């Protein structure tokens, strides 16, 4: 049987403490929360109606307990520092934002996403229906690669929706592209328009869209959604999602500077 | 050329008169398209579709087996919120015949959220209470997006939550509590919500 001592201990573990209680060896026959109040500072005050058996027989009285309830944070806060690979060496930086060809861009995004997933304990698996396939425990990660956010890119994303229909919601699905596709024919404005037009559809089907920083393959930005169950990976994306506006501004600055230099050097 | 100015003061009522009424549907789709979207969605979640007709009414029926449990679902399509009451009446008849084991759904094209709430709240929440008492779910199907959202009702098969466009289970209470346009004051709305939850 539960005693007053047990009740005291259980509430103390939660961070709530009683001022007055009956003797600890009294048996408890019932507990009811009468009122609960949480102050703006997060302190809780709970009035309990406790029925217990003492020498005088079965009694019932109100008791106040106070304290700060220790709650587990459901979502971990984003890391304060840039996430570094924990197991593998960081990938080397590229010298410029531009790609000379589609194949160069695809090779870059393939290497970057594979490196990230390997670092987070995913293993490459055998599978022919997507460009890349990784596994961690029983969960798969189907990835398609595209050099541009265009019609072909959308088809690749739609293929992932079909794969989700086939393999179910226990797996993750993602489309990976370079972060800046201007050297491949798609302006940043068009890229963002593509995401605005199709982002909702892809998010509805839980298809993640990821872009790899053209210069730094260790930085991958998530759009739409990213896997939440894998805490390590979620923590990485929680940091990089905030870095996208910063990187975007840097790129616009770089592009303006490049245009300025072109105007200066080109003959009138 | 100058526009003629009237001496009369332009009021907010004048402004409201000039506004067009909100259309029933956010996007226009035919019943056939919605039916196909609902069937696609069921296949997407892993259900097996079976042909079923109920007194010339096109209905969709599907089932899924997992760990010794068979989930069954039957639904029909209505074009707007105006037709939902009729859908409820039909499903009640079907339910009497086919039993409680099957879950029942009314599939709609994307209706305006405002209409969704207003129709459910009309006549002292008659439609809402009807849907809840008969444990009927409402699905908003977007055939273009191939997505489904469940604004009312919860299905036994929790697998659906992974596939609905919006993850949380739908209920009018949540929408009612957060809808800013409704004229009723916060306190009145709170009482309505409390009353409905007690029922």
Length of chain A: 268
Residue A144 confidence (pLDDT): 97
Nearest to A139 by CA among A235, A237, A228, A241: A228
CB distance A204–B162 less than 8 Å?
A: no
Domain boundary pick from A68, A90, A122: A68
Same structural domain, A36 and A123 = no
Residue B103 confidence (pLDDT): 94
Would you say the C-alpha torsion B92, B98, B99, B103 has a positive or negative sign? negative
Same structural domain, A248 and A137 = yes
Residue A3 confidence (pLDDT): 87
Residue A196 included in any domain: yes
Same structural domain, A24 and A135 = no
Nearest to B59 by CA among B93, B24, B100: B93
Residue A75 included in any domain: no
Residues 6+ apart with CB under 8 A from B113: B151, B175
Same structural domain, A49 and A131 = no
CB distance A204–B44 less than 8 Å?
A: no
Nearest to B45 by CA among B83, B75, B25, B84: B75
Residue A130 confidence (pLDDT): 95
CB distance A165–B44 less than 8 Å?
A: yes
Alpha-carbon gap: A107 to the closest alpha carbon of chain B (Å): 31
Same structural domain, A122 and A49 = no
User: Within 10 A of B21 (CB to CB), how many other CB atoms are there?
Assistant: 5
CB distance A164–B44 less than 8 Å?
A: yes
Neighboring chain B residues of A161 at a CB cutoff of 8 Å: 146
Residue B183: pLDDT above 60? no
Per-residue pLDDT tens for A175-195?
999 999 999 999 999 999 999
Same structural domain, A155 and A233 = yes
Same structural domain, A112 and A187 = yes
Residue A22 confidence (pLDDT): 87
Domain boundary pick from A12, A45, A68: A68
CB distance B145–A204 less than 8 Å?
A: yes
CB distance B146–A169 less than 8 Å?
A: no
| Interchain contact B163–A (C-beta under 8 A) | yes
CA A234 to chain centre: 3
CB distance B162–A200 less than 8 Å?
A: no
Same structural domain, A250 and A140 = yes
Alpha-carbon gap: A201 to the closest alpha carbon of chain B (Å): 6
| Average pLDDT of the residues of chain A | 89
- Interface of A to B at Cβ within 8 Å reads 161, 164-165, 168-169, 200-201, 204-206
Residue A74 included in any domain: no
User: Within 10 A of A171 (CB to CB), how many other CB atoms are there?
Assistant: 18
Same structural domain, A116 and A239 = yes
Residue B35 confidence (pLDDT): 94
Backbone dihedral angles phi then psi of residue B191, each to the nearest 5 degrees:
-65, -45
Question: Are the C-beta atoms of residues A213 and A247 closer than 8 Å to each other?
Answer: yes
Mean pLDDT for the stretch of residues A135-139: 89
Alpha-carbon gap: A139 to the closest alpha carbon of chain B (Å): 15
Residue B153 confidence (pLDDT): 86
Residue A236 confidence (pLDDT): 92
Residue A145: pLDDT above 90? yes
Nearest to B150 by CA among B41, B28, B27: B41
- Give me the long-range contacts of B156-159 (CB less than 8 A, separation at least 24): B156/B71, B156/B103, B157/B45, B157/B64, B157/B66, B157/B71, B157/B73, B157/B103, B159/A169, B159/B45, B159/B46, B159/B64, B159/B66
Residue B138: pLDDT above 80? yes
Per-residue pLDDT tens for B9-56?
888 877 777 776 667 777 788 999 999 999 999 999 999 999 877 777
Neighboring chain B residues of A164 at a CB cutoff of 8 Å: 44
Neighboring chain A residues of B163 at a CB cutoff of 8 Å: 169
> If DSSP codes are grouped into helix, strand and coil, which group holds residue B34?
helix
Query: Total structural domains in chain A?
Result: 2
Neighboring chain B residues of A168 at a CB cutoff of 8 Å: 46
Residue B3 confidence (pLDDT): 55
CB distance B46–A205 less than 8 Å?
A: no
Same structural domain, A55 and A150 = no
Neighboring chain B residues of A201 at a CB cutoff of 8 Å: 145-147
Helical segments of chain A, H only: 4-14, 102-119, 151-167, 188-204, 231-265
Distances (CA, A) of A118 to A141, A160, B147, B170: 12, 21, 33, 38
Delineate the domains of chain B, giving CATH numbers in brackets: 22-198 (3.40.1350.10)
Alpha-carbon gap: A216 to the closest alpha carbon of chain B (Å): 34
Please give the residue that has the higher pLDDT: either A151 or A261: A151
Nearest CA in chain B to A204: B165
Same structural domain, A117 and A195 = yes
Residue A80 included in any domain: no
Per-residue pLDDT tens for A15-74?
888 888 888 888 888 888 888 888 777 788 888 888 888 888 888 888 888 888 777 666
| Interchain contact B64–A (C-beta under 8 A) | no
Same structural domain, A52 and A162 = no
What distance in Å separates the CA atoms of residue A125 and residue A116, rounded to the nearest whole number? 15
Residue B2 confidence (pLDDT): 54
What distance in Å separates the CA atoms of residue B61 and residue B156, rounded to the nearest whole number? 16
What distance in Å separates the CA atoms of residue A123 and residue A236, rounded to the nearest whole number? 18
Nearest CA in chain B to A164: B44
Q: Provide the CATH number for the domain around residue A149.
A: 3.40.50.10670
Provide the domain limits for residue A41: 4-68
Give residue B190's pLDDT band: very low, low, confident or very high (50, 70, 90).
Answer: low
Residue A78 included in any domain: no
Residue A216, both tokens? 């730094």
CB distance A169–B159 less than 8 Å?
A: yes
Tell me which residue in B46, B146, B147 faces A168 most closely, judged by beta carbons.
B46
Distances (CA, A) of A165 to A172, B13, B33, B46, B151: 12, 51, 19, 7, 23
Chains A, B: CB contacts within 8 A come to 18
Residue A149 confidence (pLDDT): 96
Neighboring chain A residues of B46 at a CB cutoff of 8 Å: 168
CB distance A169–B145 less than 8 Å?
A: no
| Average pLDDT of the residues of chain B | 83
CB distance B147–A161 less than 8 Å?
A: no
Flag whether the ipTM exceeds 0.90.
Answer: no
Residue A117 confidence (pLDDT): 95
Residue A93 included in any domain: no
Residue B147, both tokens? 């997505």
DSSP annotation of B25: B
B:122-161 residues touching chain A, CB 8 A cutoff = 145-147, 159
Alpha-carbon gap: A194 to the closest alpha carbon of chain B (Å): 15
């Amino acid at each position: 049987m539960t005693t007053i001592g047990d009740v005291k201990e259980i509430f103390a573990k939660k961070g709530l403490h009683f001022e007055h209680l009956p003797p600890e060896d009294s048996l408890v026959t019932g507990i009811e929360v009468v009122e609960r109040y949480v102050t703006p500072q997060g302190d809780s005050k709970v009035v309990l109606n406790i029925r217990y058996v003492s020498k005088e027989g079965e009694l019932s009285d109100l008791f106040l307990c106070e304290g700060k309830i220790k709650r587990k944070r459901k979502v971990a806060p984003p890391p304060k520092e840039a996430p570094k690979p924990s197991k593998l060496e960081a990938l080397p930086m590229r010298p410029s934002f531009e790609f000379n060809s589609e194949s160069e861009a695809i090779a870059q995004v393939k290497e970057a996403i594979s490196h990230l997933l390997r670092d987070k304990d995913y293993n490459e698996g055998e599978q022919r229906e997507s460009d890349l396939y990784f596994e961690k425990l029983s969960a798969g990660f189907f990835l398609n690669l595209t050099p541009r956010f265009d019609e072909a890119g959308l088809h690749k994303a739609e293929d992932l929706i079909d794969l989700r229909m086939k393999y179910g919601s226990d797996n993750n699905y993602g489309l990976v592209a370079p972060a800046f596709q201007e050297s491949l024919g798609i302006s940043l404005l068009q890229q963002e328009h593509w995401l605005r037009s199709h982002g909702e559809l892809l998010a509805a089907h839980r298809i993640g869209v990821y872009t790899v920083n053209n210069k730094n393959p260790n930085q991958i930005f998530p759009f739409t959604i990213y896997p939440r169950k894998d805490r390590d990976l979620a923590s990485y994306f929680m940091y990089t999602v905030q870095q996208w506006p910063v990187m975007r501004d840097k790129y616009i600055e770089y592009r303006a500077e490049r245009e300025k230099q072109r105007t200066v050097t080109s003959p009138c | 050329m100058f526009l003629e100015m009237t001496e009369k003061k332009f009021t907010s009522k004048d402004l409201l008169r000039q506004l067009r009424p909100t259309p029933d549907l956010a996007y226009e789709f035919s019943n056939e398209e919605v039916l196909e979207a609902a069937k696609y969605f069921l296949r997407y979640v892993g259900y097996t579709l079976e042909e079923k007709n109920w007194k010339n009414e096109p209905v969709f029926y599907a089932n899924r087996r997992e760990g010794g449990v068979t989930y069954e679902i039957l639904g029909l399509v209505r074009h707007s919120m105006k037709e939902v009451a009729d859908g409820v009446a039909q499903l009640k008849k079907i339910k009497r015949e086919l039993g409680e084991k099957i879950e029942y759904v009314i599939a709609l094209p994307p209706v305006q959220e405002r209409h969704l709430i207003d129709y459910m709240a009309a006549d002292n929440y008659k439609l809402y209470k009807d849907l809840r008492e008969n444990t009927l779910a409402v699905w908003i199907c977007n055939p273009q997006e191939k997505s489904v959202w469940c604004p009312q009702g919860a299905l036994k098969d929790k697998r659906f939550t992974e596939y609905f466009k919006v993850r949380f289970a739908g209920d009018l209470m949540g929408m009612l509590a957060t809808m800013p346009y409704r004229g009723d004051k916060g306190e009145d709305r709170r009482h309505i919500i409390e009353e409905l939850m007690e029922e």
